[in-house]
Amino acid sequence: MDDFLPRTAIQASPETAPPSLSYLQDAWLRFRKNRIALVCLGVLLFLGLMAIAGPWIRPYHYSAIQLELKNQPPSWQFWFGSDDLGRDVFCRVCWGGRISLAIGLAAALIDGVIGVIWGASAAYFGKYVDEAMMRLCDILHTIPLLMTVILLTVFMGTGLKTIFIALAINGWLNMARITRAQILQIKQSDYVTAARAVGASPFRIVFRHLIPNALGPILATATLTIPASIFTEAFLSFLGLGLQAPIASWGVMINDGISAMEFYPWRLFFPSAMITLTMLSFNLMGNALRDALDPRLRS
């Protein structure tokens, strides 16, 4: 008789029932299966650790000038060599990593706050509110980032503050559009209708029901925002519109290293390699995170 069990008993058996996983647990399990994404995560953790601890393990300051030691090749004394003023390239690369990662994370935070709230509000209220809010996004999108930075530089000068304000003006538009598209798909769901029926406020519906269910594309977009912001800072610093010497920035170091590329290639190679590794790792990890958070890919 033990071989013949009721169907309800088989379904309730803990040996046959699959383990219950939350949305984030299921996404993490699928993310771990992507070995390239795990390698990229390890690279980013290593670069972050190097940016934080790197300057403390070297006896030199990133702006310390030692003319008698200028343009030294990579060695045990200078791991990444020295520049034309005798400054340690390794320390400058680490300080540049701090600035670049800070700008990337700040840009992702700005996108997450302004872009998500703006896009979710436009999609939820709809009609004239949606039309007015998205037309304002279209107007801001027509303003080139370079023009915004030039105008801010005229009134405020160059520096981190100018870059942050420029990213705050232009950077969140893509996030707002993606959030709006996701909210438009899910705002007609039954649980949203039930929340309206029991008298839930628009604030609660947006932040308790709509945004959490659109979290996958939002997180993936925020991850892809970081490398774009890092490249923007490097590009502006390379043009002389971003950070200025003696502040160490990857863009500033690349600008300085181009003139010495033929005779002292390490001055250009190491900051370029850091930018390449950072952007490539963030892009590959962002693509893997987008696939892991997509509910349609659940098996």
Q: Does residue 293 form part of some domain? A: yes
Q: Does residue 209 form part of some domain? A: yes
> Could you list the residue range(s) of the whole structural domain that residue 204 is in?
96-297
Number of domain units in the chain: 1
CB atoms within 10 A of CB 147: 11
Model pLDDT, residue 57:
82
Q: Does residue 56 form part of some domain? A: no
CA atoms within 13 A on the CB side of 285: 21
What is the CATH classification number for the domain harbouring 133? 1.10.3720.10
Model pLDDT, residue 296:
56
Q: Does residue 25 form part of some domain? A: no
Task: Tell me the per-residue pLDDT of 1-20, one tens digit each, with 9 for 90 and over.
Answer: 455 555 554 454 455 555 66
Model pLDDT, residue 294:
67
Q: Does residue 33 form part of some domain? A: no
Q: Does residue 90 form part of some domain? A: no
What are the beta bridge partners of residue 232?
none
Q: Contact at 8 Å (CB) between 293 and 27?
A: yes
Model pLDDT, residue 19:
61
pTM reported for the whole predicted model: 0.76
| Apex 170 CA angle, 168 and 173, nearest 5 | 105
Task: Give pLDDT < 50 ranges for the chain.
Answer: 1, 9-10, 12-13, 299
Model pLDDT, residue 266:
84
Q: Does residue 106 form part of some domain? A: yes
Q: Does residue 62 form part of some domain? A: no
Model pLDDT, residue 3:
57
Helix segments in the chain, DSSP class H: 7-12, 23-32, 35-53, 89-110, 116-125, 127-141, 145-156, 160-170, 173-186, 190-197, 202-204, 211-213, 215-239, 250-258, 266-293
Model pLDDT, residue 12:
47
